[in-house]
Amino acid sequence: MTSFKDKIVVITGGNSGIGYTTAASFLEKGAKVLITGRNPGAVQQAVYALGHPAEGFKADQSDLKEVRRLADYIQGRFGTIDSLFINAGFAAVGPADALTEEEYDKIMNTNFKGAFFTIQYILPYIKDGGSITILSALNANAGMPGTSALSASKAALNSLARTLARELAGRRIRVNVVNPGVIETPLLDKAGLTEEARRFIADKTPVGRLGKPADVANLVTFLASENAGFITGAEYNVDGGLFVHPLIAS
């Protein structure tokens, strides 16, 4: 098993779903992990459930003042970190002609602007030779109806990662993107995905099921590890093969 002994990992939005499971996986491999979230109670509860040496910090990724506070906290608490996992995201689905400006702003401010400035503010504290992994989504590249702004916000992250991989090469910081398909997390309830819709998607997925948070965590921890030392500017789908199925384009 890859060891993250003496490594420090920061995960935005780590109190639920993919972020939480990825935090647990890094901890199991010996890392120290700091998770964030908007809800301080949920962050504290998750830190308790994850156990030592997990730590938490309340920070809304869409609020740049809170992002700045997070960066200052990281500097004071750790000095430098090894890996940053940009995981926090917001999803609102519906046809483009019905999307409100408020929904648009929330999607863009959380998923792209917030992610961009989280990276910018924390960058001085990422060690040379460290890594940044960004969670995008399969629909960044899929042209999936009902996800116009959401998909665009995620596609912007894929583009950002390619640019940063070049810009940060001088510091040997690797930057990669993970595109999950449909993963069973509380997000699916928040997005109103019915049981019937989940069964339909699972049936159409080549591996025959929806994804689990651990499917994503396995790849994220790999990309942060020394075994991925030759990988930067890359993006990977974790989707059970869904992308190759015409369902996604229908």
CB atoms within 10 A of CB 25: 20
Residue closer to ligand NAP, measured from CB, 66 or 82 = 66
Segment 17 to 36, residues that bind ligand NAP, using CB under 6 A: 17-19, 36
Residue 58: CB minimum distance to ligand NAP, A: 8
Segment 159 to 218, residues that bind ligand NAP, using CB under 6 A: 180, 182-183, 185-188, 190
Residue closer to ligand NAP, measured from CB, 43 or 81 = 43
Measure the CA angle with vertex 188, ends 186 and 192; round to 5°.
Answer: 120
> How far is the C-alpha of 40 from the C-alpha of 222, rounded, in Å?
29
Residue closer to ligand NAP, measured from CB, 3 or 120 = 120
Residue closer to ligand NAP, measured from CB, 43 or 168 = 43
Residue closer to ligand NAP, measured from CB, 127 or 236 = 236
> For residues 222 and 231, is the Cβ–Cβ distance under 8 A?
no
Segment 55 to 114, residues that bind ligand NAP, using CB under 6 A: 60-62, 87-91, 110
Residue closer to ligand NAP, measured from CB, 14 or 130 = 14
> How far is the C-alpha of 222 from the C-alpha of 55, rounded, in Å?
22
Segment 32 to 61, residues that bind ligand NAP, using CB under 6 A: 36-39, 42, 60-61
> For residues 45 and 37, is the Cβ–Cβ distance under 8 A?
no
Query: At 83, is the secondary structure helix, strand, or coil?
Result: strand
Residue 102: CB minimum distance to ligand NAP, A: 14
- Count the residues in the chain: 250
> For residues 12 and 87, is the Cβ–Cβ distance under 8 A?
yes
> How far is the C-alpha of 67 from the C-alpha of 59, rounded, in Å?
6
* DSSP result, 75-133: HHHHS-EEEEEE-------S-GGG--HHHHHHHHIIIIIIHHHHHHHHGGGEEEEEEEE
> How far is the C-alpha of 145 from the C-alpha of 108, rounded, in Å?
18
Q: Which stretch binds ligand NAP (CB under 6 A): 10-18, 118-126, 162-170, 241-249?
A: 10-18
Q: Which stretch binds ligand NAP (CB under 6 A): 14-22, 96-104, 166-174, 224-232?
A: 14-22
| Interface contacts to ligand NAP, rule CB under 6 A | 12-19, 36-39, 42, 60-62, 87-91, 110, 135, 137, 180, 182-183, 185-188, 190
